[in-house]
Amino acid sequence: MKKIDVAVIMAGGKGSRLRSITNDEIPKPMVPVDGKPLLEYQVEKLKEYGIKKIVMIVGHLGEKIMDHFKDGKDFGVDIDYIVEKEPLGTAGAFYYLKDKTDAKDFLLIFGDVFFDIDFDRMEDFHFKNAALTTLLAHPNGHPYDSDLIQTDDNGKVIGFDSKNNVRDYWYDNMVNAGMYIINRELLELVGEPVKIDFEKDILANQVKNGANVYAYHSPEYVKDVGTVDRINATVEELKNGLIASKNLKNRQRAIFLDRDGTMNVSKGFISNADDLELIPGTIEAIKAINKSGALAIVITNQPVIARGECSFEELHNIHNKLKTLLGEKGAFVDDIFYCPHHPDKGFEGEIPELKFDCECRKPKTGMIDEAVKKYNIDLSKSYMVGDSTMDLELARNAGVKSVLVDTGFAGNDGKYDRSCDIEAKDLLDAVEKIIKDMK
């Protein structure tokens, strides 16, 4: 297996929003997090992963960084430096980087990011897709003021959605986390040391040209700590163990969620985003899951696709509306798995290739099986919440605790056994009971 052993850290930020802490006397990446410089956490995590060489690109007060880390030997790594006499953006220093490493692929990390991730998974994804660049993407609680990534169903990046855009549309909560695996070919695109933006000037053009730029979707802890409030939140999450627990090397708890009748008002099969209406309390329920450290994963049958009543594009728009409504209030789902198939034929306009008895349609476990593989989920510590006995049967088949909400069908569809581990009046009540049960 290929192994990346070189990392580049963009450590030149001034940190104007952290002036109350730095007093303009220390550079942004050296801001203390629970008594230790942020950059030192990064170096420790990179060493733990197996990184042997680190190149730090420094600028404002860069001598403070160099005095602290020197050649890196005291930290168990080899550290070299590129000093920007004038700010060169997020990619201008690539010109000098060519002479600092001959690695074919390397990590690029922004110096204001606190992270704890399983790099092996990201690396496997990068090489599997023969990617020119792989960027780590995740949902967050403020997509409305974040630069977003647009991908196809395979994770290939097809566009970028700037936070400066007027978003009069529903959008995916897929945020660029500021961590990359980059192939050396990209370095050759910087012909001279001029100020240039990595995403806007390099990646965006590569995406337009159809290059293999991929987004690795991860729910792990990667947070920009560029404000005092974010640092304080990170310190709290560091102390309570949340950050380490989110690393996908560790088995994850998940709360699987049915969609129609559980999260949104039951209106039959929805084929248009205008028909999606969240049940009161849904946003608060998802925020509570996010805070608990469990994954919030939607598991939904969508036979409207096979029936020809809804296109894949419109289904994605429906799900983007769900993500937008949640994100506007600081909540997010970690992923959505849907089954587009239907076993019965005879519908006008149906799609024949989707009309078969699949392994993903609830109450079969295909969607949960896929989630388990993707996110290293411990089913013995997970839950399935739904409004129908099909959801309860899925829970039994998958080996997770079953939770019935008294919205939607309220368990009165008559298809399977109605018995459950937990019954609740709605999703918020269900999540509160689950979190209590998890303790």
Strand ranges (DSSP E) for 69-212?
78-83, 105-110, 113-116, 133-138, 148-151, 157-161, 175-183
What residue spans of 10-150 are helical by DSSP H?
19-22, 38-49, 62-69, 94-97, 119-128
**Residue 316 CA to its chain's centroid (Å):** 17
At 82, which helix (H) or strand (E)? strand 78-83
- Name residue 9's amino acid: I
- Distance (Å, whole) CA 320 – CA 324: 6
Q: 180: burial class by Cβ within 10 Å (0-12, 13-18, 19+)?
A: buried
Closest residue by Cα to residue 383 from 265, 271, 285, 283: 285
Closest residue by Cα to residue 410 from 289, 258, 271, 226: 258
Which SS3 state, helix, strand or coil, does residue 50 take? coil
Work out the number of other CB atoms within 10 angstroms of the CB of residue 417.
Answer: 11
67 phi and psi angles, rounded to 5 deg: -65, -35
Q: Which two tokens stand for residue 46?
A: 């990179």
Point out the residues that are catalytic: 258, 260
365 phi and psi angles, rounded to 5 deg: -100, 10
Work out the number of other CB atoms within 10 angstroms of the CB of residue 5.
Answer: 16
> Using omega within 30 degrees of 0 as the cis cutoff, is the peptide bond preceding 363 cis?
yes
- Distance (Å, whole) CA 169 – CA 105: 36
